[in-house]
Amino acid sequence: MLRLAIAGDLHGQWDALDAALIERLAPDALLVVGDLADGDLRFPRRLRELNLPVACVLGNHDAGRDASGRTLALMEQALGPLHCGWSLRLLDPPGLAVVGGRPGSPGGGFYLSAAVKAHWGELSLFDSAERITAAARQAPPDLPLVLLAHAGPSGLGSAASDPCGRDWKRPACDWGDQDLQEAIVRIRRTRPVPLVVFGHMHHRLRHGAGQRRSLHRDRQGTVYLNAACVPRHDVDAHGAPLRHFCWVEVSAGGSVTLASQRWFHGDGAIEREELLLCSPALPC
Protein backbone atom coordinates (compact mmCIF):
# COMPACT_ATOMS: atom_id res chain seq x y z
CA MET A 1 0.00 0.00 0.00
CA LEU A 2 1.35 3.41 -1.03
CA ARG A 3 0.40 6.37 1.15
CA LEU A 4 0.53 9.70 -0.68
CA ALA A 5 0.24 13.17 0.82
CA ILE A 6 -0.76 15.92 -1.60
CA ALA A 7 -0.21 19.62 -0.98
CA GLY A 8 -2.59 21.88 -2.85
CA ASP A 9 -1.67 25.31 -4.19
CA LEU A 10 0.74 26.68 -1.57
CA HIS A 11 0.55 30.38 -2.48
CA GLY A 12 3.40 30.98 -0.05
CA GLN A 13 1.94 28.80 2.71
CA TRP A 14 4.72 26.35 3.54
CA ASP A 15 6.63 26.86 6.76
CA ALA A 16 8.61 24.99 9.39
CA LEU A 17 5.42 23.45 10.81
CA ASP A 18 4.48 22.05 7.39
CA ALA A 19 7.95 20.55 6.99
CA ALA A 20 7.98 19.03 10.47
CA LEU A 21 4.43 17.71 10.09
CA ILE A 22 4.96 16.03 6.73
CA GLU A 23 8.05 14.27 8.05
CA ARG A 24 6.11 13.20 11.16
CA LEU A 25 3.28 11.82 9.00
CA ALA A 26 5.91 10.01 6.88
CA PRO A 27 3.89 9.34 3.72
CA ASP A 28 5.60 7.29 1.04
CA ALA A 29 5.68 10.40 -1.16
CA LEU A 30 4.60 14.03 -1.24
CA LEU A 31 3.00 15.44 -4.42
CA VAL A 32 2.77 19.21 -4.91
CA VAL A 33 0.46 20.66 -7.58
CA GLY A 34 2.19 24.03 -8.08
CA ASP A 35 1.54 27.70 -7.39
CA LEU A 36 4.25 27.52 -4.77
CA ALA A 37 4.62 31.29 -4.56
CA ASP A 38 4.81 34.22 -6.94
CA GLY A 39 8.33 33.48 -8.08
CA ASP A 40 9.75 33.24 -4.54
CA LEU A 41 12.70 30.83 -4.74
CA ARG A 42 12.61 30.04 -1.03
CA PHE A 43 9.67 27.68 -1.50
CA PRO A 44 11.13 25.21 -4.04
CA ARG A 45 14.30 25.15 -1.94
CA ARG A 46 12.28 24.25 1.14
CA LEU A 47 10.72 21.32 -0.70
CA ARG A 48 14.17 20.05 -1.69
CA GLU A 49 15.18 20.02 1.98
CA LEU A 50 12.56 17.41 2.88
CA ASN A 51 13.73 13.91 3.76
CA LEU A 52 11.12 12.06 1.70
CA PRO A 53 10.34 11.52 -2.00
CA VAL A 54 8.74 14.62 -3.57
CA ALA A 55 7.35 15.38 -7.03
CA CYS A 56 6.13 18.81 -8.09
CA VAL A 57 4.84 20.65 -11.14
CA LEU A 58 4.94 24.43 -11.50
CA GLY A 59 1.72 26.47 -11.72
CA ASN A 60 0.74 29.66 -13.49
CA HIS A 61 1.51 31.83 -10.44
CA ASP A 62 5.08 30.54 -10.25
CA ALA A 63 6.11 32.94 -13.01
CA GLY A 64 5.31 35.88 -10.76
CA ARG A 65 4.65 38.88 -12.98
CA ASP A 66 7.63 38.14 -15.17
CA ALA A 67 6.59 37.51 -18.78
CA SER A 68 10.20 36.96 -19.86
CA GLY A 69 10.28 33.38 -18.56
CA ARG A 70 13.36 34.04 -16.41
CA THR A 71 11.47 33.59 -13.14
CA LEU A 72 9.97 30.32 -14.33
CA ALA A 73 13.43 29.12 -15.29
CA LEU A 74 14.79 29.98 -11.84
CA MET A 75 11.88 28.22 -10.13
CA GLU A 76 12.41 25.10 -12.22
CA GLN A 77 16.14 25.21 -11.52
CA ALA A 78 15.50 25.58 -7.78
CA LEU A 79 13.22 22.54 -7.78
CA GLY A 80 15.79 20.51 -9.68
CA PRO A 81 14.81 16.84 -10.07
CA LEU A 82 11.59 17.39 -8.10
CA HIS A 83 9.99 19.14 -11.07
CA CYS A 84 8.27 16.74 -13.46
CA GLY A 85 6.46 18.99 -15.94
CA TRP A 86 6.16 17.03 -19.23
CA SER A 87 8.47 14.39 -17.77
CA LEU A 88 8.69 11.23 -15.69
CA ARG A 89 9.81 11.26 -12.08
CA LEU A 90 10.45 7.78 -10.70
CA LEU A 91 10.06 7.52 -6.94
CA ASP A 92 11.61 4.14 -6.23
CA PRO A 93 11.43 3.64 -3.34
CA PRO A 94 8.55 3.69 -2.68
CA GLY A 95 7.72 2.37 -6.18
CA LEU A 96 5.70 5.04 -7.96
CA ALA A 97 5.84 6.59 -11.43
CA VAL A 98 4.80 10.27 -11.52
CA VAL A 99 4.31 12.02 -14.87
CA GLY A 100 3.80 15.76 -14.95
CA GLY A 101 1.32 17.64 -17.08
CA ARG A 102 1.92 20.96 -18.82
CA PRO A 103 3.65 23.30 -16.36
CA GLY A 104 2.47 26.87 -15.86
CA SER A 105 -1.07 26.12 -17.01
CA PRO A 106 -3.88 28.59 -16.18
CA GLY A 107 -6.54 26.12 -17.37
CA GLY A 108 -9.14 27.11 -19.92
CA GLY A 109 -8.58 24.45 -22.57
CA PHE A 110 -5.14 25.20 -23.96
CA TYR A 111 -3.38 28.47 -23.34
CA LEU A 112 0.33 29.26 -23.16
CA SER A 113 1.26 32.38 -21.24
CA ALA A 114 4.04 34.65 -22.45
CA ALA A 115 6.28 33.33 -19.68
CA VAL A 116 5.63 29.69 -20.64
CA LYS A 117 6.34 30.38 -24.32
CA ALA A 118 9.49 32.32 -23.46
CA HIS A 119 10.86 29.54 -21.25
CA TRP A 120 9.59 26.33 -22.84
CA GLY A 121 8.79 27.47 -26.37
CA GLU A 122 5.74 27.40 -28.61
CA LEU A 123 3.87 24.14 -29.03
CA SER A 124 0.43 22.91 -29.97
CA LEU A 125 -2.20 21.14 -27.88
CA PHE A 126 -1.25 17.84 -29.51
CA ASP A 127 2.48 18.48 -29.07
CA SER A 128 1.88 18.96 -25.34
CA ALA A 129 -0.31 15.83 -25.14
CA GLU A 130 2.41 13.82 -26.86
CA ARG A 131 5.07 15.06 -24.43
CA ILE A 132 2.97 13.84 -21.51
CA THR A 133 2.24 10.55 -23.27
CA ALA A 134 5.89 9.97 -24.17
CA ALA A 135 6.89 10.48 -20.54
CA ALA A 136 4.28 7.91 -19.47
CA ARG A 137 5.67 5.40 -21.99
CA GLN A 138 8.98 5.50 -20.11
CA ALA A 139 7.35 4.48 -16.84
CA PRO A 140 7.96 0.86 -15.74
CA PRO A 141 4.73 -1.08 -16.37
CA ASP A 142 4.82 -2.70 -12.94
CA LEU A 143 4.65 0.62 -11.07
CA PRO A 144 1.42 2.54 -10.40
CA LEU A 145 1.20 5.67 -12.56
CA VAL A 146 0.08 9.05 -11.23
CA LEU A 147 -0.43 12.08 -13.46
CA LEU A 148 0.45 15.27 -11.58
CA ALA A 149 -0.71 18.56 -13.10
CA HIS A 150 -1.40 22.10 -12.05
CA ALA A 151 -4.71 22.42 -13.91
CA GLY A 152 -6.91 19.35 -14.24
CA PRO A 153 -8.13 17.77 -17.48
CA SER A 154 -11.20 18.74 -19.44
CA GLY A 155 -14.16 16.40 -19.41
CA LEU A 156 -14.97 16.43 -15.69
CA GLY A 157 -18.09 18.59 -15.95
CA SER A 158 -19.06 22.13 -16.88
CA ALA A 159 -20.87 23.25 -13.72
CA ALA A 160 -19.16 25.84 -11.53
CA SER A 161 -18.88 23.28 -8.72
CA ASP A 162 -17.28 20.55 -10.87
CA PRO A 163 -13.59 19.75 -10.27
CA CYS A 164 -12.46 22.10 -13.08
CA GLY A 165 -15.57 24.24 -13.47
CA ARG A 166 -15.21 27.98 -13.98
CA ASP A 167 -16.81 29.73 -10.99
CA TRP A 168 -15.70 33.37 -11.34
CA LYS A 169 -17.60 34.28 -14.50
CA ARG A 170 -20.95 33.34 -15.97
CA PRO A 171 -21.84 31.17 -17.68
CA ALA A 172 -19.96 28.41 -15.90
CA CYS A 173 -17.96 26.13 -18.19
CA ASP A 174 -15.39 23.36 -18.24
CA TRP A 175 -12.05 25.07 -17.51
CA GLY A 176 -9.93 21.90 -17.72
CA ASP A 177 -6.88 21.34 -19.92
CA GLN A 178 -7.62 19.65 -23.22
CA ASP A 179 -4.03 18.48 -23.76
CA LEU A 180 -4.08 16.60 -20.45
CA GLN A 181 -7.34 14.90 -21.35
CA GLU A 182 -5.93 13.95 -24.77
CA ALA A 183 -2.83 12.51 -23.06
CA ILE A 184 -4.99 10.40 -20.73
CA VAL A 185 -6.82 8.94 -23.74
CA ARG A 186 -3.50 8.08 -25.41
CA ILE A 187 -1.86 6.62 -22.30
CA ARG A 188 -4.85 4.36 -21.66
CA ARG A 189 -4.22 2.57 -24.94
CA THR A 190 -1.28 0.81 -23.31
CA ARG A 191 -1.78 1.04 -19.53
CA PRO A 192 -4.30 2.17 -16.89
CA VAL A 193 -4.21 5.60 -15.28
CA PRO A 194 -5.35 5.06 -11.67
CA LEU A 195 -4.88 8.61 -10.36
CA VAL A 196 -4.76 12.18 -11.73
CA VAL A 197 -3.89 14.87 -9.17
CA PHE A 198 -4.17 18.62 -9.76
CA GLY A 199 -5.05 21.96 -8.20
CA HIS A 200 -5.54 25.49 -9.59
CA MET A 201 -9.35 25.58 -9.20
CA HIS A 202 -9.79 26.45 -5.52
CA HIS A 203 -12.24 24.40 -3.45
CA ARG A 204 -14.04 27.45 -2.11
CA LEU A 205 -16.23 28.81 -4.91
CA ARG A 206 -16.42 32.50 -5.66
CA HIS A 207 -19.31 34.73 -4.60
CA GLY A 208 -20.16 32.54 -1.59
CA ALA A 209 -21.43 29.72 -3.80
CA GLY A 210 -20.20 26.91 -1.56
CA GLN A 211 -17.56 24.25 -2.10
CA ARG A 212 -16.25 22.58 -5.23
CA ARG A 213 -16.64 18.86 -5.81
CA SER A 214 -13.04 17.75 -5.38
CA LEU A 215 -13.13 14.09 -6.52
CA HIS A 216 -14.41 12.36 -9.63
CA ARG A 217 -14.06 8.73 -10.69
CA ASP A 218 -14.80 7.84 -14.31
CA ARG A 219 -16.02 4.61 -15.90
CA GLN A 220 -12.47 3.42 -16.52
CA GLY A 221 -11.73 3.64 -12.80
CA THR A 222 -9.46 6.69 -12.94
CA VAL A 223 -9.70 8.88 -9.84
CA TYR A 224 -9.35 12.63 -10.41
CA LEU A 225 -8.46 14.61 -7.28
CA ASN A 226 -8.49 18.39 -7.01
CA ALA A 227 -6.21 19.23 -4.07
CA ALA A 228 -6.54 23.05 -4.18
CA CYS A 229 -7.70 23.80 -0.65
CA VAL A 230 -6.83 27.51 -0.38
CA PRO A 231 -5.82 28.73 2.13
CA ARG A 232 -4.32 25.51 3.46
CA HIS A 233 -3.37 27.02 6.83
CA ASP A 234 -6.05 27.36 9.51
CA VAL A 235 -6.51 27.26 13.29
CA ASP A 236 -8.76 25.18 15.52
CA ALA A 237 -11.29 26.51 18.06
CA HIS A 238 -8.47 27.17 20.53
CA GLY A 239 -6.24 28.99 18.06
CA ALA A 240 -3.84 26.08 17.51
CA PRO A 241 -2.45 25.89 13.95
CA LEU A 242 -3.81 23.39 11.45
CA ARG A 243 -2.39 22.28 8.11
CA HIS A 244 -4.25 20.74 5.14
CA PHE A 245 -3.11 17.80 3.04
CA CYS A 246 -5.05 15.47 0.79
CA TRP A 247 -4.32 11.85 1.67
CA VAL A 248 -4.49 9.03 -0.88
CA GLU A 249 -3.75 5.33 -0.54
CA VAL A 250 -2.97 3.18 -3.57
CA SER A 251 -2.98 -0.62 -3.48
CA ALA A 252 -0.14 -2.82 -4.72
CA GLY A 253 -2.30 -3.50 -7.76
CA GLY A 254 -2.45 0.21 -8.59
CA SER A 255 -6.02 1.05 -7.60
CA VAL A 256 -6.96 3.96 -5.33
CA THR A 257 -8.44 2.54 -2.14
CA LEU A 258 -8.78 5.73 -0.08
CA ALA A 259 -8.86 9.47 -0.71
CA SER A 260 -9.61 12.16 1.84
CA GLN A 261 -9.01 15.75 2.80
CA ARG A 262 -7.43 16.09 6.20
CA TRP A 263 -6.67 18.96 8.57
CA PHE A 264 -3.77 18.06 10.88
CA HIS A 265 -2.44 19.41 14.14
CA GLY A 266 1.31 19.84 14.34
CA ASP A 267 1.66 16.55 16.25
CA GLY A 268 0.01 14.64 13.38
CA ALA A 269 -3.42 14.25 14.99
CA ILE A 270 -6.34 14.72 12.59
CA GLU A 271 -8.61 17.62 13.61
CA ARG A 272 -11.16 16.96 10.85
CA GLU A 273 -11.46 14.84 7.74
CA GLU A 274 -13.63 14.70 4.66
CA LEU A 275 -13.66 11.16 3.29
CA LEU A 276 -13.93 11.31 -0.49
CA LEU A 277 -13.45 7.67 -1.48
CA CYS A 278 -13.02 4.44 0.43
CA SER A 279 -12.77 0.86 -0.80
CA PRO A 280 -15.53 -1.40 0.57
CA ALA A 281 -12.79 -3.71 1.83
CA LEU A 282 -11.39 -1.05 4.18
CA PRO A 283 -12.69 -0.17 7.68
CA CYS A 284 -13.22 3.50 6.83
User: Which amino acid type is present at position 126?
Assistant: F
Q: What percent of the chain has pLDDT over 90?
A: 96
pLDDT score at 253: 87
pTM: 0.97
CA dist 227 → 168, 170, 212, 276, 283 (Å): 19, 24, 11, 12, 24
Q: What is the DSSP letter of 71?
A: H
pLDDT score at 188: 98
Q: What percent of the chain has pLDDT over 70?
A: 99
All structural domains of the chain, each given as residue ranges with its CATH number in brackets, are 8-242 (3.30.750.180)
Averaged pLDDT, 279-284: 72
Query: In 10 A of CB 196, how many CB atoms?
Result: 27
Whether the ω angle into residue 106 lies within 30 degrees of 0, i.e. cis, is no
User: Which amino acid type is present at position 142?
Assistant: D
